[in-house]
Amino acid sequence: MRLRLQVLVALVTCSSITGSLAYKPVVILHGILSGAESMASLVREIKEFHPGTIVYNCDKFSGWYSLENAWRQVDQVRDYLNEVGKLHPEGIIVLGYSQGGLLARAAIQSLPEHNVKTFISLSSPQAGQYGTSFLHLIFPDLAAKTAFELFYSRVGQHTSVGGYWNDPQRQDLYLLYSEFLPLINNEKKTSNSTSFKMGMVRLNKLVMIGGPNDDVITPWQSSHFGYFDENMDVIPFIRRPIFTSDSIGIRTLQEAGKLIIVVKPHVHHLAWHTRRDVIHEVIFPYLD
């Protein structure tokens, strides 16, 4: 009964497109302060050029609800992916945009027995976020240099952004107070550290997409696990501990030929999932 209900939910509230099973089903997660409707262009392109693909355009935590605590969102996304995965034993593709890509990754890591074959991270702050342009979209009166005062507090951790705000000059406070990003990146060891890594290495393909003209994800290299050091110099992911120590399995995936890094210039953050040429160039090659 539960699975039948889940199919109905997929068809009605998550905009499922049914048809043949020539392509793997795709689950799409929207970004912050938006909802499933914001991903409509991408859904239409998939429907037109990959006819028959089942698409779950998830509408959980839309609008202001997307600012709720990161773990609360991950718990529901995890259960959702688990139910969709059970419907499709052949495997599924998960695409998460912006904050949705970070939440999707955490959900996948929380499912060490998942059947996600490909995870596409579309301009997502996988190594964290630190920048005024992003901040002012949500908290117009906050400055990046002082935002730690809010985010690294009990109150700040109730917001999704607080969970992945990564101040490169306040790393002691980040590791002390942040309850989300340091855990899923295994910067802080927990009883879940091993399973978080297992969830990642279970993937057949990890696709990380971003570019230098994004203007929202800061630094833009965070979309590829690169990040600022304490001097505000960007360190490529291959020189950061998350790769060199293989703390969440990125190096394992890279050595197995399962890690794909896509750098696409001249694409603004709001265009990754709306511009047809971008969709076809950076997303479609991995929807197989």
Among residues 98, 124, 160, 222, which one is catalytic? 98
Residues 283, 42: contact at Cβ < 8 Å?
yes
Compute the distance between CA of residue 226 and CA of residue 275 in angstroms, rounded to an integer: 25
Q: What is the dihedral of CA 85, 223, 273, 95, to 10 degrees?
A: 0
**Is residue 246 annotated as part of the catalytic site, yes or no?**
no
**Is residue 75 annotated as part of the catalytic site, yes or no?**
no
Compute the distance between CA of residue 230 and CA of residue 43 in angstroms, rounded to an integer: 40
Residues 108, 27: contact at Cβ < 8 Å?
no
Omega cis (within 30) before 168: no
**Is residue 214 annotated as part of the catalytic site, yes or no?**
yes
Instruction: For residue 58, list its beta bridge partners.
Output: 29
Instruction: For residue 250, list its beta bridge partners.
Output: none
Kindly state the helix (H) or strand (E) to which residue 89 belongs, with its residue range: none
Residues 150, 213: contact at Cβ < 8 Å?
no
Kindly state the helix (H) or strand (E) to which residue 198 belongs, with its residue range: helix 193-201
Among residues 214, 223, 224, 273, which one is catalytic? 214
Catalytic machinery residues:
98, 214, 269
